[in-house]
Amino acid sequence: MPIKILLDTDIGSDIDDAVCLAYLLANPDCDLLGITTVTGEAESRARMASALCKVAGRQIPIYPGAEQPMLIAQKQPYCTQAKALARWPHDADFPKGVAVEFLRQTIRAHPGEITLLAIGPMTNIAALFIADPEIPKLLKGLVLMCGVFTNKLAGVGPLEWNAMLDPTATAIVYRAVVKIHRSIGLDATTQVTMAAPEVRQRFQIPLLRPVLDFAEVWFGHADRITFHDPLAAVTIFDGTVCGFERGTVEVELKSERLAGLTHWKADPEGVHEVALMVDQQRFFDRYFSVF
């Protein structure tokens, strides 16, 4: 049976969210029940998600969510890739102020069946867990693109963008008790990249054409795509793409400079799973196979 997925995304900043959504829409093993957007210009992000859904011929509920972090100033105010929307039909109006309630009702309607995939700042997810503390135990799993856990790769700093954009929300989400609480952090995702010329060559598939248009905005300041969010998504359908280790994650809140830092400690009895190894070729094979 297809796996029931709810996606929470900040599509429109880094290009990897759109790459991830296209994969979910194309994957016959994915039953995408809904999309919520998060961080600055959440409605523009919803429009981008709508454009991909229309190309896929899918009617997926889309709800703009929280635009501001819980306690700190916004560091991601704009949805820069929305400037590429003009070429792609999309819905323009969405229900407002009900993203968390949509998540709550959907999860309660399918107890133990839904995997919640969060690939943006954790604001919506934290608000959901606060609004209904039973929700984490009603999930089949929680999969996050979040954090840094080994910091052994060159160019991987101690802080990860999603975690640091709303450290308080990140801490709330990591304190939740979920049957499967899985994180794919920068130490894993930075191992799967693709240079712009290869992206332009391989993203000629119809569902990836709007993604390529969005990517051209991204390529204005970057020369490649890093498949952060798609890697997290693929692990839901193929757990062997990454090697996971159990342990505990605590989120730094005391230091303003390091707020959002994920402190990782290996522990066979720990409640968190983190990705510590990636089979790059298997990932790319799995990703492109759905198209």
Q: What is the pLDDT of residues 146-177, one digit of tens each?
A: 999 986 666 677 899 999 999 999 999 999 99
pLDDT band at 134 (very low <50, low <70, confident <90, very high): very high
Domain count, the chain: 1
* pTM, 2 dp: 0.97
CATH number at residue 29: 3.90.245.10
Arithmetic mean of pLDDT, 93-120 = 98
Q: What range defines the domain where residue 116 resides?
A: 3-289
Of 155, 153, 152, 174, the C-alpha closest to 163 is: 174
The whole-chain average pLDDT of the chain stands at 96
User: ∠ CA 66-67-70 to the nearest 5 degrees?
Assistant: 70
Q: What is the pLDDT of residues 64-87, one digit of tens each?
A: 999 999 999 999 999 999 999 999
Give Cα separations from 165 to 39, 87, 88, 227 (angstroms).
Answer: 9, 30, 29, 19
- % of the chain at pLDDT higher than 90: 97
Q: Would the pLDDT of 235 be above 70?
A: yes
Cα separation of 69 and 124, whole Å?
A: 9
pLDDT band at 124 (very low <50, low <70, confident <90, very high): very high
